[in-house]
Structure 1
């Protein structure tokens, strides 16, 4: 059998095992589900707030936005944190020692992170349906749009998380990039329409996949008349597909290169040195 196919199959199996392990771990479930539960609380307390210029519920408008923004943030940060932690503890070094081990490892991480992110998104969506009114989930087109936006959004964001994660050897330094990602989510029209922001912030928001993932979710779950409050007065699904697709291509091309370079720098001595530094910080 083709060695690459063997590595991919092993990675899928490993990812499935890690998803099952996460579902039986209270700490893992809390880490994945707490942000979504917090978002549900925020939407509940929005009460009777409406989108400016309309009578439409701001909570209903926020739900699909949070689905997109949470999926992007979770994919980026979780993948980034996982890579840095497992680089420090030697997991990546062990994967490197196996033929095509890095490919299998990366596939496994993609399956695990995307699987748990989708489970968290499902909890948020189906719980939110009972908290807010106005969602349009009564047509096959809405579900089809939801599926392709989810799939393309994950492909656009997960490789970026892997790229960022490969840049840091110490998990404690991940906050350097986590805070800007949080700022990006806040300025991507997730919690409030992007049309209310200054023009220069609108351009920054549109340059990254977080805004387009939120917009794609809104196009799937909100009625057509809500497109009036978006930039250009439409859902811009073609542009959404194009931008997310472009980020996916960039990530899929760059991530393997960066990860291979990172793997080449890994050795038993470098892992031992990082563990020794960690022990010194503890003591």
Structure 2
């Protein structure tokens, strides 16, 4: 069997096993549960309000933004955090010793984090069924739109998280870099307010990154067609959304493995022990 395909199959199996373990481990469930519940609480308090000057429920306008934001938050932060920690505890060093081990590791991490993110999205949509009027009747095509946006969003966010995690020198640095990236992109992406309110150069910057397109795609699936009038060009732009997300997904999947392999080549038992010693010094 082709070594790369064999490593990918092992990664699929590992990712599924890790996801099942997360379901029984309170520490692993903590972030997912807290973030999902926090978003659901926002919908609860907005359930009876409407957007000023319209009859559109505020919760209905907020839900697409929360779904679009949940994908990179869970995917990118999860990949950054797990990779930086497993770099210090020796997991990556052990993966390096196996044939095509970094391919298997990356596939396993993508699978486990994808399952946990999809679980969060499902919980959010279930909450939306209670707090967002009309969500039951959006139609099969709109549900399929949410599904393919989720897949492309995860494939664009997870490899990027792996790259950030591999470049960071410590879990603390990785967390800071990823939070800075998410915070900056959220500020200019228009997920919580019309992007047309921003300066032109900020709109252009937001168009480069996946978060804007995830928010736009989710709004196209969950909001009435008339709401597109508030978007740039008065359109949901589904073709552009697909192409940008697909480009990020392909770029991440192409670049992440060699970057991880390059990082793994620099790994050694002595380097891992030095990082562990520095971490212990920070604690004490």
Superposition TM-score tier, normalisation by shorter sequence: over 0.9
Post-superposition shift, 1:233? 1.1
Q: Does 1:266 align with 2:267?
A: yes
Q: In structure 2, what is the Cα distance between the partners aligned to 1:242 and 1:132?
A: 30
Please state whether the residue corresponding to 1:129 is helix, strand or coil.
helix
Check conservation: 2:47, 2:132, Cα contact below 8 A. no
Q: In structure 2, what is the Cα distance between the partners aligned to 1:53 and 1:189?
A: 19
Check conservation: 1:72, 1:157, Cα contact below 8 A. yes
Post-superposition shift, 1:52? 4.9
Is the deviation greater in 261-270 or in 171-180? Answer: 171-180
Residue of structure 1 equivalent to 2:147: 147
Residues 16-165 of structure 1 mapped to structure 2, 5 A cutoff: 16-135=16-135, 137-165=137-165
Post-superposition shift, 1:177? 3.5
Q: Deviations over 1:104-163 (max 9, x none)?
A: 111110001111000011000111121122436442211221111111111111111111
Post-superposition shift, 1:164? 0.8
Q: Does 1:200 align with 2:216?
A: no
Post-superposition shift, 1:187? 2.5
Post-superposition shift, 1:222? 1.9
Residue of structure 2 equivalent to 1:166: 166
Check conservation: 1:18, 1:112, Cα contact below 8 A. yes
Is the deviation greater in 230-239 or in 137-146? Answer: 137-146
Q: Compute the TM-score of the two structures, normalised by the length of structure 1.
A: 0.95
Q: Compute the TM-score of the two structures, normalised by the length of structure 2.
A: 0.94
Q: In structure 2, what is the Cα distance between the partners aligned to 1:155 and 1:52?
A: 36
Q: In structure 2, what is the Cα distance between the partners aligned to 1:23 and 1:39?
A: 20
Check conservation: 2:76, 2:178, Cα contact below 8 A. no
Check conservation: 1:48, 1:57, Cα contact below 8 A. yes
Check conservation: 1:84, 1:166, Cα contact below 8 A. yes
- Residue-pair matches, total: 283
Q: CA RMSD in A?
A: 1.6
Please state whether the residue corresponding to 2:28 is helix, strand or coil.
helix
Post-superposition shift, 1:262? 0.4
Check conservation: 1:136, 1:142, Cα contact below 8 A. no
Is the deviation greater in 91-100 or in 181-190? Answer: 181-190
Q: Deviations over 1:225-255 (max 9, x none)?
A: 2212222111110010011111112212211
Instruction: List runs of 5+ in structure 1 lacking aligned partners.
Output: none
Instruction: List runs of 5+ in structure 2 lacking aligned partners.
Output: none
Check conservation: 2:164, 2:177, Cα contact below 8 A. no
Q: Does 1:178 align with 2:179?
A: yes
Check conservation: 1:136, 1:221, Cα contact below 8 A. no
Residue of structure 2 equivalent to 1:248: 249
Is the deviation greater in 11-20 or in 199-208? Answer: 199-208
User: Structure 1 pair 123/226, CA: closer, same or farther in 2 (3 Å)?
Assistant: same
Check conservation: 1:7, 1:101, Cα contact below 8 A. yes
Please state whether the residue corresponding to 2:99 is helix, strand or coil.
coil
Q: In structure 2, what is the Cα distance between the partners aligned to 1:281 and 1:239?
A: 47
